Amino acid sequence: MDMSIWKQKRIILAAIAIIAVLAATLTYRDVFQAISAFAPHTYQNILVLDAGHGGMDGGAVAEDGTMEQDINLAIVRKCEAFAGLFGLHTMLTREDGNSIDYDPEQSIRANKVADIHARVRITNSVRNPIFLSVHLNKFTDSSYSGAQVFWSKNNPEGQLLAQQIQSTLTRGLSPVRERQAKQAADSIYLMKTLTCPAVIVECGFLSNAEEARLLAQDDYQKRLALCIIDGCLQYAEQS
Ligand SMILES: [Zn+2]
């Protein structure tokens, strides 16, 4: 199908989905699953959606006790639904509140190693993976806010993907401070190990009370997920 026609259809399908959700008691997941049957599966990549942390490792914690791992998974679930609507296939690494391959007989350290290795194994098990890890930031200065995307230097496509997502996040969220996509630090295991296009999306700062409140909201998570998937689709259409 001609891509410009498909883009128009995509907008119409998205509008139908939103109206259907508002008008009825259907969930986004129900509607998106139904509509995704009509989406052309033209994308060569499979998007691996990685909810950061899990289990004993809750990640960053907000002042009110909200844990990063729960918000990460909520955003990933919304990304999964939006991607499905547009015909972009996904694979989730962590699907619940537990760490991956958790074994209660093993030490915390051994479980952490098993978890991170499982994320690599799952990513490498799919055809043409794009790896996208969702995290939240935390900093000592509570004035810091805004989403920021980091890329792995192992694959030059990662930088293009990161810049595309940063751009759709900036357009969609109109942040107080516009951040730029950056290369990830070498100390991040997944970023130095994976060889496919790989990015980390830090969706905002839990250490900023106003942003922490937004990050916990269902509607804001949907906006974040739409921006993230919009960036992925634009990348996938170009590559
Ligand atoms: Zn994190």
Cα–Cα dist 169/156, whole Å:
21
Residue 53 alpha carbon to ligand 1 centre in Å: 6
pLDDT at 11 over 60: yes
Residue 16 alpha carbon to ligand 1 centre in Å: 34
Residue 85 alpha carbon to ligand 1 centre in Å: 27
| Position with higher pLDDT, 31 vs 129 | 129
Residue 4 alpha carbon to ligand 1 centre in Å: 37
* pLDDT for res 220: 96
Tell me the average pLDDT across 128-154.
97
Question: What radius of gyration do the chain's Cα atoms show?
Answer: 17
pLDDT at 161 over 60: yes
Residue 57 alpha carbon to ligand 1 centre in Å: 9
Other Cβ atoms closer than 10 A to 82: 23
Residue 157 alpha carbon to ligand 1 centre in Å: 23
Cα–Cα dist 48/39, whole Å:
19
pLDDT at 56 over 60: yes
pLDDT at 167 over 50: yes
Tell me the average pLDDT across 204-232.
96
pLDDT band at 12 (very low <50, low <70, confident <90, very high): low
pLDDT at 4 over 80: no
* pLDDT for res 187: 94
Tell me the average pLDDT across 156-178.
94
- Backbone phi and psi for residue 203, each to the nearest 5 degrees, phi listed first: -75, -10
Order of strands, sheet of 198-205, starting from the edge strand that comes earlier in the sequence: 90-92, 46-51, 129-137, 198-205, 148-151, 182-183
Per DSSP bridges, beta strands 46-51 and 129-137 are parallel
* pLDDT for res 1: 45
Residue 69 alpha carbon to ligand 1 centre in Å: 7
Q: Domain boundaries in the chain?
A: 1-40, 42-238
Percent of the chain clearing pLDDT 70 (strictly above): 83
State whether CATH 3.40.630.40 applies to domain 42-238: yes
Residue 134 alpha carbon to ligand 1 centre in Å: 8
pLDDT at 210 over 90: yes
Residue 200 alpha carbon to ligand 1 centre in Å: 9
| Position with higher pLDDT, 12 vs 190 | 190
Residue 32 alpha carbon to ligand 1 centre in Å: 28
pLDDT band at 42 (very low <50, low <70, confident <90, very high): confident
pLDDT at 232 over 70: yes
Among 235, 219, 222, CA closest to 163? 235
Residue 82 alpha carbon to ligand 1 centre in Å: 22
Residue 201 alpha carbon to ligand 1 centre in Å: 10
- What confidence tens digit (pLDDT) does each residue in 62-96 have? 988 999 999 999 999 999 999 999 999 999 999 99
| Mean pLDDT rounded to a whole number for the chain | 89
| End-to-end CA, the chain | 17
* pLDDT for res 43: 86
Cα–Cα dist 26/23, whole Å:
8
Residue 202 alpha carbon to ligand 1 centre in Å: 8
DSSP the chain: --HHHHHHHHHHHHHHHHHHHHHSS--HHHHHHHHHTTS------EEEEEE--BTTB---B-TT--BHHHHHHHHHHHHHHHHHHTT--EEES--SSSPTT--TTS-HHHHHHHHHHHHHHHHHTSSSEEEEEEEEE--SSTT----EEEE-TTSTHHHHHHHHHHHHHHHHH--SS----EEPPTT-HHHHH--SSEEEEEEEETTSHHHHHHHTSHHHHHHHHHHHHHHHHHHHHH-
